[in-house]
Structure 1
């Protein structure tokens, strides 16, 4: 199994542009209360999907293994585990958003609340 690529929120636009032909997915694996607390605003050319980490195995069919996926959580640990799970289940292009929504709020969108 190969290493999971790490993507800083500040570099997110270039990642989306590099995958423009595929309409990549930002998979937010946080719990519903966390999504209500702080969420990513729409990003052009990107599909936002929210599936809590513990629901991923049961809902795996909702994701396309051939479409690039960037996993996001609060600080990057849960999303790293999900990224490894996806990779182990045949997903070809999986990335972890390093630092999670917390880093997103600092590096990319200061309007996102930190918690």
Structure 2
């Protein structure tokens, strides 16, 4: 009996400690990403108008060396925030609601399914191949 309780608690902690995974479809997310391509890339660590998004899931906010983030984004990330699935979901829905004076001009992704698919793609762009 004790082993069963121990095993259940151990599994529970493992689930809580595991990173949140995007549940969407990466292939559909690649299509949604077309809206982002003017300013961002996911294939290589090369900044454009916006920072590259290689490894964005669970990456600290405003952390790409050499990219000039807006003051608002730097302040937003100043307390060790990371771009986890939950934070990205809120941000992608309407960026200026989460980071009031962000320099990102994009208004947001309207459909929740598109956000889920986009997150799946950002998490693993090769899954769209």
TM-score of the superposition, structure 2-length normalised?
0.32
- What TM-score comes out, normalization by structure 1 length? 0.34
The structure where strand makes up a greater share of residues is 1
